[in-house]
Structure 1
Amino acid sequence: MALPINISDLVNGQSIEWERLEFKQGWNPEEIVHTMCAFANDINNWGGGYIIVGIAENEGRPVLPPIGLTPESLDKIQGEVLSLAYQLLPNYFPLIQPYVLQEQHILVLWCPAGDNRPYTAPITQGKGTQRAPYIRFGSRSIIAKEDNLRRLQELTARIPFDDRINGKAVIDDLDLGLIQAFLQEVKSDLYEESKQIPFTDLCLNMKIVNGPKEALRPLNVGLLFFSRNPEKYLDRSWIELVIHKDKTGKNFSEKYFKGPIHHQLRAVLDYFKNNVIEEVVEKVSYKAEANRYFNFPYEALEEALSNAVYHKSYEMEKPIEVQIWPDRIEILSFPGPVPPVDAQILKQNKRIVARDYRNRRIGDLLKELHLTEGRGTGFPTIRNAMKENNSPEPVFETDEQSTYFLTLLFANEEKTVAKTAVPFINLDELSYFLNSLSNQASDQDKPNKSKVLEVLNNWNDQASNQAGNQAVQIIESELHDKALAILDIVSEPKKRVEILENLGLSNQTKNREKYLDPLLNLGWIEMTIPEKPTHQDQKYRRSIQGEILYNLVSGIK
């Protein structure tokens, strides 16, 4: 029976980390039984691994095309694998499946993590040989000693929660349609077989059920991926989304995403795409290409949310919480990272690889679906995506007890400015004149109108008209309809209450935030007492940029 994987992705390390793959050019019982033992012991809770016979290796990577096995040797090798399974104590039986890859026969042994750790194997083949527990170290199988042996002994009968039997459910709570959709998406050969074989055999081959054959029960990972309502069996196993309309935290709406966890993940990512992420295309006159960036890069959001789904504890009755604010997105899951990763390590700007993993099976299925990457790649992926988008550095937080994990992704600070900024015809020339004006005027002096007009006179009439028209269109469509009126009002310094009264508005904080703060942030208006924003005599006036902008759109020139 086929395995629930895509064989091409497997061989090329696209769905499984290289440390979990062992390539053998030919049949070598001694080495293979050691690797079977190491994968069964699964000291890092990675989910076991795969032994691929018929493909040579070079420094842990496959040498392709495969050398292959002769067709007549396949049955013999499968029989010998069974005898090797009895050499392990406790006995351990991998799943075996022959494949044809690039017109060559190969044999794949799927060796999932065992339920009865630690396992031991004979050091050499033959009677009376000594036994030892083997573990994976990089892409090699070694004997566990000292600290590694103690770690392995601590894992005795300890099974990660996602790989445990769920006593609340029965096998009929798993949905054949969801299972087949998964197999079809990952392009597993098991998809076609699933249409003919008994449902019980399908679930056993996918390792999503366990127990005696007369009383098989779903594993938690099976319910999370292949049950229509996993929250019935695993409380609060959903994603909560809170959308804040402003920075006060009082005006918000909530959404709940339920169902199979990979469906939840994709639904929230689709929400991000359709309702949160905005692209800015900034046309620049002095170069052919436009500047493009986003308020939040999708790659960072995808990796951060996928990590939360992968690494949260489904044993705890706490959902993943996503808070969307105007200036940031917060993704909170429980508990925190597995030791030795702690708050200090999270602050380091480098790849982090944990020694142990909480959800070995969930991670495998997410990788098969290409919803998350290999171990230790999440933080670099997020940081690189934010950097390439010119966004602020992401923040990863936990507490000393590692009770939570929080990811903070901040909006691109240029996003708001660029969206409302005026695309002057010659940005290089504008920058030069603004700098020269800034050097001539002291911090306390109001910009001299004659100097402003001098700047405008250096532009030809056509360029000024184009810039003015562009400015009006963008200000009215992207900022608010009172921006130009405010620039007119503050031709002389005015207090906030005077400005708002002139606009027919009450002197409230919400009106200041909506109408004055955007112009202040853009540098079009400025405070007369900037070092004391709340001073009782505080007033607002046009800045140099605001003066130029106002003259452009009002046709003074």
Structure 2
Amino acid sequence: MNETELLDILARGEDSRHQFKANISNIDALAAELVAFANSGGGVLIIGVSDLGEVQGLSAADISRLNQLLSNTASQSVRPPIHPISLNIRTAQSLVMVIQVPEGLNRPYTDAQGRIWVKSGADKRHVTAREEMQRLFQQAGLIYADEVPVASATVANIDRPALEEYFENRYRQPLEETGPSLARLLQNMGLARDGVLTLAGVLLFAKKPERFRPAFMIKAVAIPGGELHETRYLDSEDIFDRLAGQYQRSLAFIKRNLHHVQGDQGVNSLGILEIPEIVFQELLVNALIHRDYFISAPIRVVVFADRVEISNPGHLPNHLNVEQIRYGLSNMRNPLLASHATHLLPYRGLGSGIPRALNACPRLELVDDRIGNQFKAIIPRRAR
């Protein structure tokens, strides 16, 4: 970074990637800034500048002291330690120190008191909500939502016929002929832990899973216009079920609220769906398997007059972006669910679902809303 680049940043003001400080003398204050950047994609801390972006400058003694403070803070007051890079830039007014903080590879980072800080706009905030902490650990691969036990769900809540059918289809062996007890078998499959069902066990095989996790359902609505705030609807359904049932019922909801067109079919044909069915098969499966189950919110399916929208709680995980998933790159947020879903849903786990949907519907729009913390697929309908 040179002076011209620095002045350009100062002219634009503070944001989530750039923080200005006139000076810093407190090791805890510096640690909080470093931790927030490391947990939030990295950024630049500029010292010697007012909040308004006016250069106030630093003395040579300030620069020496700040370098020592930075070294001590990054190695002793940030856990795990990070490795920021400092750069001293001479402006027409005075010296300014620029500290570049890379995105942390071992998130979440904490300060010496064990507090987790993240960026919130141009400021930072202390993370206290359990769900947000869980998501940070999830991003680091330290915890997966589908492996977490659901305290009130026990082995007795398993829908045994559904499990027996799955087991025989997958392993070609009746469930009753296996050696271990049901509790041990479920634990071996990752569906229970010490007699308590994991989230995967609840979502895949529990009787009435909505008793334990009512938010993990699909809200489906068909609206005659193009805005969500329409005063009436054509069809509506709250879909509570196991994952396989949610998939089947939400696909049926979409199909019954779309038109069928004759196309090249004969006059006596029922016609073909205005949007290829495979588009919804792939998008619904991806929503159910890859949603963020640390967010207590439903998947939303809305059939508008001109489009269909499928909104999924949680933006794309880690560094994954829309362009990457267009070409088949994937990152499993719920590996346990994914491993079982290949035998329950039309899912292969190869990252090929989105490319198939795009091939069938090139105008499909994918939106990774990181501020709203959701992923949305927008499927345009045929003009009539």
Is 1:210 the counterpart of 2:185? The answer is no
1:332 to 311, 314, 324: 311
Is 1:251 the counterpart of 2:232? The answer is yes
Deviation at 1:150, TM superposition (A): 5.7
Deviation at 1:193, TM superposition (A): 3.9
Q: 1:350 to 1:225 in 2, by over 3 A?
A: closer
* More strand by percentage: 2
Deviation at 1:268, TM superposition (A): 1.4
Amino acid in structure 2 at the alignment position of 1:260: R
Is 1:269 the counterpart of 2:251? The answer is yes
Structure 2 CA distance, aligned partners of 1:170 and 1:349? Answer: 37
Of all paired residues, the percent bearing the same amino acid is 19
Q: 1:176 touches 1:199 (CA, 8 Å); kept in 2?
A: no
Deviation at 1:315, TM superposition (A): 2.1
Q: Give the secondary structure class of the aligned counterpart of 2:369.
A: coil
1:381 to 348, 356, 367: 356
Q: Please show how residues 90-489 of structure 1 align to structure 2 within 5 Å.
A: 158-184=142-168, 186-193=169-176, 198-211=181-194, 216-247=195-226, 249-252=230-233, 253-276=235-258, 278-282=260-264, 294-342=273-321, 346-347=322-323, 350-354=326-330, 356-387=331-362, 393-401=363-371, 403-413=373-383, 416=384
* More helix by percentage: 1
Q: Give the secondary structure class of the aligned counterpart of 1:380.
A: helix
Deviation at 1:316, TM superposition (A): 1.4
Q: Give the secondary structure class of the aligned counterpart of 2:236.
A: strand
TM-score by length of 1: 0.40
Q: Give the secondary structure class of the aligned counterpart of 1:172.
A: helix
Q: 2:203 touches 2:209 (CA, 8 Å); kept in 1?
A: yes
Structure 2 CA distance, aligned partners of 1:281 and 1:198? Answer: 55
Q: 1:204 to 1:172 in 2, by over 3 A?
A: same
* 1:356-411 Cα shifts (integer Å, max 9, x gaps): 42111111122122422323212201101114xxxxx1000022446110000111
Q: Give the secondary structure class of the aligned counterpart of 2:263.
A: strand
Amino acid in structure 2 at the alignment position of 1:255: E
Structure 2 CA distance, aligned partners of 1:194 and 1:177? Answer: 15
Structure 1 CA distance, aligned partners of 2:252 and 2:369? Answer: 31
Deviation at 1:335, TM superposition (A): 0.9
Q: 1:180 touches 1:194 (CA, 8 Å); kept in 2?
A: no
Structure 2 CA distance, aligned partners of 1:150 and 1:157? Answer: 9
Q: 1:400 to 1:220 in 2, by over 3 A?
A: closer
Structure 2 CA distance, aligned partners of 1:149 and 1:245? Answer: 47
Structure 1 CA distance, aligned partners of 2:141 and 2:281? Answer: 35
Deviation at 1:171, TM superposition (A): 1.8
Q: Give the secondary structure class of the aligned counterpart of 2:171.
A: coil
Deviation at 1:241, TM superposition (A): 0.3
Q: Give the secondary structure class of the aligned counterpart of 1:222.
A: helix
TM-score by length of 2: 0.57
Q: Please show how residues 507-526 of structure 1 align to structure 2 within 5 Å.
A: none
* 1:256-311 Cα shifts (integer Å, max 9, x gaps): 11121111111111233344352423479xxxxx9x75311100011011111111
Q: Give the secondary structure class of the aligned counterpart of 1:329.
A: strand
* 1:174-194 Cα shifts (integer Å, max 9, x gaps): 22122112224x342243545
Amino acid in structure 1 at the alignment position of 2:319: P
Amino acid in structure 2 at the alignment position of 1:204: Q
- Calculate the aligned-residue CA RMSD, in Å: 3.2
Q: 2:313 touches 2:373 (CA, 8 Å); kept in 1?
A: yes
Q: 1:337 touches 1:402 (CA, 8 Å); kept in 2?
A: no
Q: 1:349 to 1:194 in 2, by over 3 A?
A: closer
Q: Give the secondary structure class of the aligned counterpart of 1:169.
A: strand
Amino acid in structure 2 at the alignment position of 1:250: T
